[in-house]
Amino acid sequence: MNNAVRTAFRHPQLRLLRKVIRPFLGRAVGSEQWLRIVMDRETEKLINSLNPSSLNVLEISGTRWDQPNLFRKYKSVTYPDFDICERCLDETYDLIIAEQVFEHLLWPYRAGRNVFAMLRPGGHFLITTPFLIRIHKSPADCTRWTETGMKHFLAECGFALDEIQVSSWGNRACVKANFGPWQIYQSWRHSLRNESDFPVVVWAMARKSVTC
């Protein structure tokens, strides 16, 4: 909301109008991408279920989870200084996060096995990837997984099938809208209804067995 609108809304005669319109404007002018809304809400639930304040966490090529006092310990690594396809760090972690990363990897199975190796027994891996989204090279764009594909990809990386939770979200309107620039979510305009045959994003939480 710009300064001119704010000034006008302070007029006593517009008090009722202010109450009606301000919440609408707050929802309409946001910064979150439509395709991420449901995924972000659900992954936050997954993280919160793990007692995050007790966790030693590694985030790969991202800083979304670099939040004050959320984790006991947090570290972020980025490419090319650290290439998850090529090596492991010397430390092990309770939780490793890779959001919108694995679709860009030339060697995702190598990377998945490196993640598995860096997890402590009982540790978790949170991964999110796109599905029905156009190619976007950063620096490459290589792979897409459905829910079934993601679950079996993680199993091949070492996780037991029954220790993997997978989900997805999308609808045909969101698929079409993102043919151009990524769409910013506007609640009055964009539906969060899920059409399972049109997944835009896929995510999973996998747990390393305590016997590993």
Q: What is the pLDDT, as a whole number, of residue 30?
A: 59
Q: What is the pLDDT, as a whole number, of residue 138?
A: 86
Domains and CATH numbers, the chain: 1-30 (no CATH), 31-207 (3.40.50.150)
Q: What is the pLDDT, as a whole number, of residue 13?
A: 53
Backbone angles phi, psi at 25, to 5 degrees: -65, -35
Q: What is the pLDDT, as a whole number, of residue 54?
A: 98
Q: What is the pLDDT, as a whole number, of residue 31?
A: 80
Q: How many CB atoms within 10 Å of residue 79?
A: 16
Backbone angles phi, psi at 99, to 5 degrees: -100, 120
198 contacts: CB under 8 Å, gap ≥ 6: 132, 170, 171, 172, 174, 175
- The segments of the chain whose pLDDT lies below 70 read 1-30
Q: What is the DSSP letter of 48?
A: H
- Rounded-to-integer distance, Cα 48 and Cα 177, Å: 31
Tokens coding 71: 């984790």
Q: What is the pLDDT, as a whole number, of residue 192?
A: 98
